[in-house]
Structure 1
Amino acid sequence: MSKYVIGDIHGGFKALLQVLKKVAIENEDQLIFLGDYVDGWSESPQVIDFLIDLNKKYNCIFLRGNHDALLCDYLKNGNYTEEWFIHGGKSTLDAYKTLDSVTITQHIQFLENLKDYHLDNFNRLFIHAGFTNIKGIEFEYFKPLFYWDRTLWELALAFDNNLKVSDNNYPNRLKLYNEIYIGHTPVTRINKTIPVNKACIWNLDTGAAFSGPLTIMNIDTKEFWQSDPLPQLYPNENGRN
């Protein structure tokens, strides 16, 4: 059995189809999605429809991203902020205006059932954004940090590779898990478009919401496959740029 992790999709349905076609996925394989299925490109509803069907065929784990939480609140309660609207929410709101109530109800159920994190048998943590408690995820005092936090990735970027685990100033959060897989903060911010490994953390958000590609990676071998850059797949749209 192989395990694959997929980065932030942001409504890029065409990119999702591309990367899945590049991998010879078998029935017993596991697919772990790091969240942010929506907001950016115009096909957020198609992404969720596809993931609902994909879950019937494969062993899938769907994590909650901050954009997914925002969409869920909107679909259930009609709430949205101007900040969300200008950071990808507008394309999603426009797309959902065309959907029937049955489909919207199915999407709400999907969004409500997303997991905050996944910890596997090899002490590998999969989480959309991060956590702040130095004792780990079980002790996090504010659960939305699982899909909003950026300090874990900032810590990894600033990490001194000369430190040893036994050193007093070795960050406690980096001692807890063998590996941590995140999305949320695109690596395009550090001029990368491939998965980036810092300390024990792998960042799989390769900028699909903006100018980068979508990425799927084999967790064990670290081999990865990417879609075309999203602006090439949606030439008449701006994504979140």
Structure 2
Amino acid sequence: MVVMLGDYVDRGPDSAGVIDLLIEWSGRTQMIFLRGNHEVMMLNSRTSSEQRHFWRECGGAETMESYGGSLNNVPQSHWDFLLATAPYFETDKFFFVHANYQYDLPLKDQPPLFLYWEHLRPAPPPQHENGKQAFVGHTPQKDGLPGDFGHLIAADTFCVGGGKLTAVECNLLECFQVDRDGTEPSNFWLR
């Protein structure tokens, strides 16, 4: 199973192609797609010109260009994909959110502000009341290494800003990285 932490749009020149690829992958293996703040902005832009303007300023203009410059060109399969993204995912040992969590609230009761927008700064939250290992994105680790806070792994290694794209094998905490061009692969263990 592969859990993706969100922000599939607004992070490069071909958001439409990224969603096509993710839909294709989901037909070949079990994939869990979490919703990130950029998916939230794109979805909200459909019904509010104010939200559309905000989204365009946060990467949405480039995403719209990948759809020929108009939301009218977004295929229904892409809207369906975005609408089906989950706010969080949980297994027996782990849980996954895009951005952050409130440690003393059940995952089903987490406020959207934390799930999609709240960075880990100035420090990550304490371990969640469920006692499980957390995996999050959203807060860039600009040194290029996933942040290992014991109870929480911050997997965003700033690919959008020139860092690496990172995948973490949760049981072993083995990390796999490539640069933005998909070259220079490497792997290492966090612990």
Higher relative contact order (CA 8 A, sep 6+): 1
Q: Deviations over 1:144-187 (max 9, x none)?
A: 43111225x5432xx8xxxxxxxxxxx4x544332100001111
CA contact (8 A) 1:215 1:225 kept: yes
Q: Aligned ranges for residues 71-220 of structure 1 at < 5 Å?
A: 71-74=42-45, 76-77=46-47, 79=49, 80-97=51-68, 104-122=75-93, 124-132=94-102, 134-140=104-110, 142-151=111-120, 154-156=122-124, 171=126, 173-188=127-142, 192-220=143-171
CA contact (8 A) 1:174 1:199 kept: no
Range with bigger deviation, 196-205 or 101-110: 101-110
CA contact (8 A) 1:207 1:213 kept: yes
Q: Deviations over 1:118-165 (max 9, x none)?
A: 01022x11000112362332333x3343111225x5432xx8xxxxxx
Q: SS at the partner of 1:202?
A: strand
Superposed CA RMSD in Å reads 2.4
Structure 1's 100 and 70: CA in aligned 2 closer, same or farther, altered over 3 A?
closer
Structure 1: which 4+ aligned runs deviate by more than 4 Å?
A: 98-103
CA contact (8 A) 1:40 1:89 kept: no
Q: TM-score, normalised by structure 2?
A: 0.83
1:87 deviation in Å?
2.7
Determine which structure has the larger strand proportion and give its number: 2
Q: TM-score, normalised by structure 1?
A: 0.67
Partner amino acid for 1:145? F
Q: SS at the partner of 1:155?
A: coil
Given the alignment, which residue of 30, 37, 49 partners 1:59? 30
Show structure 1 runs of 5+ residues with no match.
Answer: 1-29, 160-170, 234-241
Aligned length: 181
Question: Is 1:46–2:17 an aligned residue pair?
Answer: yes
Partner amino acid for 1:148? W
Structure 1's 43 and 135: CA in aligned 2 closer, same or farther, altered over 3 A?
same
* 2-structure distance, mates of 1:139, 1:223: 31
Structure 1's 102 and 52: CA in aligned 2 closer, same or farther, altered over 3 A?
farther
* 2-structure distance, mates of 1:222, 1:131: 21
* 1-structure distance, mates of 2:116, 2:71: 28
Q: Deviations over 1:196-233 (max 9, x none)?
A: 111311011111111111111111111111112x2x57
* 2-structure distance, mates of 1:65, 1:222: 23
The equivalent residue for 1:15 is none
Structure 1's 68 and 99: CA in aligned 2 closer, same or farther, altered over 3 A?
same
1:95 deviation in Å?
1.2
Percent identity (aligned):
26
Show structure 2 runs of 5+ residues with no match.
Answer: 183-191
Structure 1's 99 and 89: CA in aligned 2 closer, same or farther, altered over 3 A?
closer
Structure 1's 72 and 81: CA in aligned 2 closer, same or farther, altered over 3 A?
closer
The equivalent residue for 1:4 is none
